[in-house]
A and B are shown apart, each in its own frame.
Chain A
Amino acid sequence: MSHATTFSHAVIERNPAWAQLLGLCPLLAVSTSVVNAVALALASAFVLLGANVCISSIRRWIPGYARLPCFVLIIATFTTCSVLLMQAYAFEMYLRIALFVQIIVTNCMILGRIEAFASKQSPGRALVDAAGTAVGFAIALIVMGAVRELIGRGTLFAGMELLFPGTHGWQLSVSSNNQGLLLASLPPGAFIIAGLLLGSANALFRRPIPDANHRPRAGTIN
């Protein structure tokens, strides 16, 4: 598979959110606004890229029977680094989503890509796959964040300056009284919107149903 195919596969066909349904906890919990979504997407991308490339480069030295503890140790290292970096460079943002940055370590999306791909492939391919997965997750998070912020609060890009200094005034207000449909901000709204996202992604990207004789083997995550 070429790098381009690996990338597009990771973004669309194997998208962690709408195809594999991995990492749903942060996806549902943090996507209340665009800025929260962008911040979590960046932190997840950092951990995903760092851990994937790192594990792929040292895959020959990781003993098979102790590979999962090794993977988790390396993911935890990168997660803690992202926590520290966020505290140093986006302190106010960190205070808003602190818990969900910390639990990136338990995100099955990351461990899944490492176990299924990075631990068996060269660092270059692992990097492309991680980048694709990160972009796919970011798309899902930001789409959810935008829809929920728009419906729930009637704004878009509120608080962007917490993440990128100098973006004051990016906020778009749709409704004048700063009130929206509260449901979209609450967890049930997250499930409803995630379901709609899943449905639209299925309608858009669904592959033709394969011939019964050429049905892919079960569990072909790769």
Chain B
Amino acid sequence: MLNSSLSLAVIAGTCASLLALTQLLTDERIEHNIRARDARLITELAGTTAPASSTWSGDVWNLCNDTVLARTKVAGYGGRISLLIAMTVKPKKHSLRGLRVVSHSETPGLADFLQQPDRGWLSELSGRNHAQIRAADGVTGATITSKAVLTGVLKAFAYTQDRGAIPGDCSP
């Protein structure tokens, strides 16, 4: 009995150390991957690298030139979908400039379009205003996923409209 408890403890300990070792070795690279990806998404959406002095104010980021970035999470089919949304913000006249999916746990394959912002459904959303987003069709086979993305965009519109002027360092 003692022997088998001992071997169980050794097996569990070895597994734990193997995990800890892998985590230690990959930790830095994973962090780097996540940061690089976030920076790339923001650059893609903003067109240029965002000014270093400005930053998130809550969940929005005024990139100036009438562009506001918003981050939001919505409930999808398989979990939360984390979105990064760029809007052209003019008084009473919001429109979607671009949209990136930061993370999701939707069904692979059916939700592959979330990773393809430059073509297909996501690209068709660009330039649409509030009413046009409301009227947008979903994606066959991924209705809940695509409706969740639309909800996220509407949430971002509502959030920026409610807050009025977004603080931001727009000095040249």
Partner-B contacts on A (CB < 8 A): 29-30, 32-33, 36, 58, 61-63, 65-66, 70, 73-74, 76-77, 80-81, 84-85, 87-89, 91-92, 95-100, 178, 182, 185-186
Contact = CB atoms under 8 A, between A and B. Distances in A.
A30 B108 contact: yes
A32 B4 contact: no
Given A81-B19, A87-B26, A88-B26, A30 B109 contact: yes
A98 B12 contact: no
Contacts of B7: 61-63
Contacts of B4: 63, 65-66
Contacts of A30: 108-109
Interface stretch (B29-37, B48-56, B65-73, B159-167): B29-37
A194 to B, nearest CB: 14
A88 B4 CA distance: 36
A29 B108 contact: yes
Contact of A88 (B12, B30, B109, B141): B30
A47 B59 CA distance: 39
A31 B121 CA distance: 22
Interface string B90-118: 00000000000001110111101001000
Interface size on B, as a range, is: 20 to 34
A100 B18 CA distance: 22
Given A88-B33, A91-B33, A95-B103, A77 B18 contact: yes
Interface of B: 4, 7-8, 10-12, 15, 18-19, 22-23, 25-26, 29-30, 33-34, 37, 78, 103-105, 107-110, 112, 115, 119, 140-141
Given A36-B109, A74-B15, A95-B115, A85 B8 contact: no
A73 B23 CA distance: 17
Contacts of A96: 108, 112, 115
19 contacts: A29-B108, A32-B108, A32-B112, A33-B109, A62-B7, A63-B7, A66-B4, A70-B11, A73-B11, A77-B19, A84-B26, A88-B30, A91-B33, A91-B34, A92-B37, A95-B103, A95-B104, A98-B105, A185-B109
A33 B15 CA distance: 33
Majority secondary structure, A binding face:
helix
B18 A81 contact: yes
A73 B26 contact: no
Nearest to A152: B109
B26 A185 contact: no
Nearest to B119: A178
Nearest to B24: A84
A182 B12 CA distance: 46
Contacts of A97: 108
B18 A29 contact: no
B47 to A, nearest CB: 22
A209 B78 CA distance: 45
A95 B30 CA distance: 12
Nearest to B22: A81
